[in-house]
Structure 1
Amino acid sequence: MALRIVRKYGDDILRKKSRKVDVINDRIITLLKDMEETLYAEDGVGLAAPQVGVLKRVIVVDIGEGIFKLINPEIIYSEGSYVDKEGCLSIPGVQGEVERPRKVKVKALNESGEEVIVEGEDLLARAFCHEVDHLNGILFIDKAIKKEGENGI
């Protein structure tokens, strides 16, 4: 496993749409392990592959209740809504108030290639939505109602 460099705001890769993972091979497994290690080293709650320079539909999320490693995640259900502050490892020093669903269901593949459906509420739902947005080239600042610490953003 290795730490990966987290790409920062202004890097073009953060605005590109990620490609579907067709085969779960050693490179994808290594990517997931590296992303997990990088997430913990950066003290984040979520990380998407584009944030480490890889345009693949892969995310890792851990809000303190255990790691989710998801391949080709898609939000298949959402309900409710609320506004709360968000930040991003790729945009350090900036926070914004973003409206997100209160509850989501995400369909994805796990490391073994099995289809899984995971549910999240509140912070976990927010993290899933935030990371899936990254896979589509969308940053939280695009959806922020109010931003703090913008520094030219």
Structure 2
Amino acid sequence: MIKEIVRDVFFLAQPSEPATKKDIQVGVDLQDTLRANSDRCVGMAANMIGVRKNIIIVTTKAGDIVMFNPVLLSKSGEYQTEEGCLSLDGVRPTTRYKHIEVEYFDLKWRKHRQKLHDFEAQIFLHEYDHLQGIVI
């Protein structure tokens, strides 16, 4: 189901909680909401649709990947950039990394380990910040 985008900075600044298998529908809602906003968005976190759970979706060359309880395992290649956010107005400076390795559970609750690079890594890191309550 397509959800309304949360723009409340106080809500967005609260850290999310671990997701469980009972939260699978939130991942589906993220897919639907991202598709509805694909002209201006390449990733989302569950708090952006009003759910404080550790769930994100990241657009990659292989397609959109829903990640439950993602963990950043490693990062390298620090650089400075500016980012916008569907939940916030304008753009803000931030530090990102060109190469990362992550671990997460998919929609079928299977564990994955994946390396992301360049813009895909940047998308992940932006959404991962949302889970920590970091509002850039």
The TM-score normalised by the length of structure 2 is 0.91
Q: Secondary structure at the match of 1:113?
A: coil
Matching residue's letter, 1:37: D
Aligned residues: 134
Query: Structure 1 stretches (4+) deviating beyond 4 angstroms?
Result: none
Q: Does 2:50 match 1:58?
A: no
1:10-56: CA deviation from partner (whole Å, max 9, x where unpaired) = 3x2201111112x313xx22211111111121221110001111011
1:9–1:123 CA distance, 2 compared to 1 (3 A): farther
2:33 alignment counterpart: 38
Higher Rg of the two aligned structures: 1
TM alignment of 1:48-87, pairs within 5 A: 48-63=45-60, 65-87=62-84
Cα separation, 2, equivalents of 1:78 and 1:58: 20
1:1-150 equivalences under 5 Å are 2-10=1-9, 12-21=10-19, 23-25=20-22, 28-43=23-38, 44-63=41-60, 65-92=62-89, 94-140=90-136
Q: CA RMSD in A?
A: 1.4
Shift of residue 9, structure 1, vs aligned partner:
4.4
Cα distance in 1 for residues equivalent to 2:5 and 2:115 = 27
> Identity rate of aligned residues, in percent?
28
CA distance in 1, matches of 2:47, 2:109: 21
Q: Take 2:17 and 2:8, find their aligned partners in 1: how far apart are those partners?
A: 20
How big is each residue's C-alpha offset from its partner over 1:88-133, in whole Å with a ceiling of 9 and x where there is no partner? 01013x1123220111111111112221112111111111111111
SS in structure 1 at match of 2:21: coil
Q: Which runs of 5 or more structure 2 residues have no equivalent in the other structure? A: none
